[in-house]
Every structure is written in structure tokens, then in C-alpha cells.
Chains A and B, each alone.
With several copies, the nearest count.
Chain A
């Protein structure tokens, strides 16, 4: 059954060392709760970006909370490269599992379907393949002359997402961003921050149903208004480009990053 908790309590429920699945900026990212994870000093995360990372991931890296990063890209979008990510790569501070978006989806789909692997087109000849023990080149069992990549299942221990709405029963409205649904299906547990909570079941409205993540996948819900800020929330509010720019500039140095994170009402 879905628990209803405060954002602070939710931050305490995500342990150091777990494999944490995160949605992309503007489509399910929960930078508000990620800030609380940083404030409480979370460490040693294996972050899975589904399929790419943005500001919330860059902040986690800057805070030294990430030991392994599995992603297809990390970027601040219009605000340019992700400064803490770039610095950590240069310094070898994180273990990097570089991938490509559809391979992340294929790995999550394998976990969703409870199979150990999925085949995927492309990739052969990419240097990405050299660095991934969890990817292999196999033969198509129905045509041995054809080579095809198989990728291992990706099953996060916990996924953390932000959504417009949950109901009192734990059902969460995601709408057409079904990659977030896939992430939740693939994960052992899913924690959701939401803008608002509906007293009426979201499953009652047949119009909404196809975009609802059912409560059985949702371990906990916390109301956190504007929880996607300063990135956006699809079909709800746009990103605060000025704030992301401000972050991008500050985070160019480790000191600037710490000042930014501390200055936003953190633990410092």
C-alpha cells in the first residue's frame, strides 16, 4: 500500500548506496526532493538516468553523492554542459556507464518484463560497447549471420519522480510521458513527489486512465509543490531558464556549486 509522507520523510527513506532511477529534467525530475537528499548527505548512489540527466543529476554529482552514473547524456539543455558532471568525468571521480537512450529503455523494458536481457538494433561499431560488461554482441537465434546487441535488465532499487497529481489511493497521473511509467514498472520501489493530491480516484475517469501509474507500483507519495523547479514539469509549468543559467554559472567551480546549494536553504 502506498504511504503518504512528508518530503523530508521521503528523503530519509532513500538510503545511501542504492540504485536510484531518475527521470529527465522537465519530464518527471524531482530536483526539490533531490535537494533534500543532498542536504541529508546521501552518498554512494548508483544513479540510473532514464534516459538522460540534467540539473538534478549534476547537483547530486557536485555534492559527491554519486559513485556510479549510468546515462545516455547529462546536459543542462539551453544552459549548456553540466559543470559538475564534466568536472567529475575529468577527475575520474565517478564510475561512468555511458549508454544510448534506447538501450536504457531496452534495459528498463527487460526489467519491466522480468527478462534478463533485451535485444536492440544499432550500437555495433560504437565505442560505447567496449566499456559495457552488461552489453554483449550476440547472434540472432533465427538468423545466425546477423549480429545483434543484447543489453542486461536495468532494475533500480528505487525510482524518484515528480508528477502533477496523485490521488488518496496512491495512483499517480503521468500523462503521455510513458517513459516515466516504464521507469516505475522497472523499479523495485517508486517514490513520487506531486504538485497536488486528489481526493477522488484518478482511475475513475476513463479519459485519464491510460496515463495513470497504478498505486501498486507506488511505495510512497509526498506533496511538494513546485517540486520540479527550477526545471519544468510537462504540461504544467516551463523551466525557469534564468535560474538554471544561474546554476550553470555558479557550478563552474566546486566553490560556486557549494555556495549555490548552500544558499538555496540547504543544511549549511
Chain B
């Protein structure tokens, strides 16, 4: 087995770390890496004899226990039974606002993305929302989104239990300070330095000169990813799983 960790494996491991302590995590459709990260957390917890993690992977028959249809995810979140969720977004800005709709003037966006899905709701209700966007560029991480699908923060007249917890890209990991409404650079993935992050990030953030490197998975975790997680992913993401390094 090759023990050099791929970029995707680092992201999967980082997602698992960001989920540490959650009891129930849901993963939206077309999200193989968040699904893998959640599966890895469950596997790591089981190996460590910790409490089981409930996964709700939309689109999965095996890793999804909802029985009341697609609306149950949203009800579950509002009931406080969902601890973590993932959001992407064509644009993410420095206040944690996300745009899943399109660029330029609405409605006739020159570049149109699919739409807001459940973001305008789940962002308010799920305590730990992980913003996951592989592309780290001034195009995706902007000063101000062109359209707010879901705002990063709200005032006290609005019921809000949830919001951004972290922003993970293929280059770095940020945390989010809800009071300051700002991101903080927490660690940089191997192969990048703080100057790379500064020039490819369109918004301002704290701890610009971060020297911390994002931790790599150890060989045991890597074996779990390449074995059990790759297996589990196969049901919903056969193509993605096939492209992952295998167990030897």
C-alpha cells in the first residue's frame, strides 16, 4: 500500500476531524467527500469504542434512516436532532454568506448554478455547518457574494442556532468567528504557504501569516479510508470510489 496521502484523502480526514463530537451528521446529494469524511468519523469512533455516529447520506439507501421523505431532514434539523451539515456554493464571502444561485445580476445570471437547495434554511438551524469548496480562488472566495442564498449571520430578531463552523478548500482550513463575522486561517495544506492563501483568497481574514500545516492522517486512518470507506462509498459514488487508491 502506498502510504503517501492524496489531496482528497487529506480533505476526507480533515472533514472527519471537523466533525469530531457530533452525534448526527447529514450529507447532501452529490457530495462524495463530505460523505467519505462522515463515514470516516463513524469508523474512527467505532475503532476507538466511542459512541456511534448517525449518518444520513441523502441518496443512499444503506446510510440513511429517514422514513418520512425528503422533508424529514429539514424537520430533523429544526428539532435540533442534526449536529452537522455541509454547504458548498459557487461563491463564499468573508462574512460567511454563500451563493448557490449565480453570478452578476439576478435573475438573468450570466453564470447560473443549480440553486439554493436547502441552504437558506439549514444554515440557520444546523449548529456545525462546514463550508466545503475545493476550488480556492479569488473567483470562489469573494469579498461579497453576488447573490445571498444564505447569510452567514443574523441579528437577534431571527431564530438562529446554526451557521458556519469552518471553511475547507483544497488549500487551507479556516474557522469562523460568529461574533466577529470573520474567518480565521487555521491551517494550510502541504504544498501551500500563507502567501499562496492570501493571493488566492478574495476576502480578508484573521491570522493571515499562519504557519500551521493541516495534519495528515496516520497510516491506520489511511488504511481505513482505502478499505472500509472506499467500500461504503461505492453504493452512492461508484465512479468516485473507483478513482480512490485501494487497499494495496
Contact = CB atoms under 8 A, between A and B. Distances in A.
Q: Do chains A and B touch in the complex (CB under 8 A)?
A: yes
Interface of A: 1, 24, 26-27, 51-52, 71-75, 77-78, 81-82, 85-86, 89-92, 96, 98-103, 105, 109, 111-115, 120-128, 131, 145-148, 171, 176-182, 185, 203, 206, 209-217, 234-235, 241
B199 interface: no
Return the 4 tightest CB-CB contacts between A and B, nearest first: A114-B78, A178-B69, A73-B115, A125-B151
A101 B74 contact: yes
B150 interface: yes
B148 interface: yes
A217 B66 CA distance: 11
16 contacts: A52-B115, A52-B117, A85-B112, A89-B109, A113-B75, A122-B120, A127-B106, A128-B120, A178-B69, A182-B69, A211-B67, A212-B67, A214-B65, A214-B66, A216-B54, A216-B81
Interface in B66-94: 66-72, 74-81
Interface of B, helix, strand, loop or mixed by DSSP: loop
A145 B63 CA distance: 40
Given A102-B118, A185-B75, A203-B65, A122 B29 contact: no
Nearest to B117: A73
B65 A73 contact: no
Contacts, number: 180
Given A114-B75, A128-B116, A176-B68, A96 B121 contact: no
B147 A103 contact: no
A221 B75 CA distance: 23
Interface string B216-234: 0000000000000000000
A166 B122 CA distance: 30
B116 A72 contact: yes
A171 B66 CA distance: 11
B141 interface: no
Interface string B117-136: 11111111100000000000
B51 to A, nearest CB: 6
Interface stretch (B5-13, B34-42, B153-161, B190-198): B153-161
Given A128-B116, A178-B71, 16 more contacts: A72-B118, A78-B239, A89-B102, A89-B112, A101-B118, A112-B79, A126-B149, A127-B148, A131-B107, A146-B159, A148-B159, A178-B72, A182-B71, A203-B67, A210-B68, A211-B67
